[in-house]
Amino acid sequence: MATDKQERVGIILKRLKKEYSGKPKTALAFQTPFELLVATILSAQTTDVQVNKVTPALFKKYRTIRSFADTPAEKLAQDVRSVNFFNNKAKNIRKTAAMIMDAFGGAVPQTMEELVTLPGVARKTANIVLHSAFGIESGIAVDTHVKRVAYLLGFTKHTDPVKIEQDLMAITPKKEWGNLSHLLIYHGRAVCQARKQLHDACVLRDICPSRNK
């Protein structure tokens, strides 16, 4: 028998799919799994809009995983300097590219266990790559929007992303894990914003426990 939270997740998925028409997908622009991996690493504490301004020229300049691995981190850093923490991200991207070439035969790995061994890659990044590049449902990517909206909807009381992910996975059909993350991100950006939740414009207001707070 479905729990109250499971029933509400089902309703939320249906409503948000209708509200944000089209197949839910990442806002990051990419052509290959490695490009998505790089873009996701760059997106930490940086908007997807800013990342999408950087990556077209980056991927045109460095066309292969080997080219990223062979480029000094200092040079990569200058190519991504408009994103936050660009020095550390450049180092991680170079090390990740080298590890993919040396340990994974030049192909982005397709398991959570392998992806999180890459520098700069935690569960959120791995989930995004697995779902959006390979169609693999391994978990639910929890960013700041998912964290906030899940809490306001009463689906979690935790602040740790891993525990939030576990709470959401327990009440969401596996086939919808990736979709739920994308839809909560859409809703967090458009309506359930950090500074002010726009309850009057929310299609979930009648089933949201935070609407009167």
Please identify which of the residues 17, 79, 95, 143 carries the catalytic annotation. 143
- Quickly list DSSP for 93-115: HHHHHHHHHHHSTTS---SHHHH
Q: Is 17 designated active site?
A: no
Q: 92 near 86, Cβ under 8 Å?
A: no
**Distance, CA of 81 to CA of 30 (rounded, Å):** 19
Please identify which of the residues 48, 124, 147, 167 carries the catalytic annotation. 124
HSE-up (13 A, CA, CB side) for residue 66: 2
Which of 25, 38, 43, 47 is CA-nearest to residue 65? Answer: 38
Q: Is 167 designated active site?
A: no
Q: 44 near 150, Cβ under 8 Å?
A: no
Catalytic (active-site) positions: 124, 143
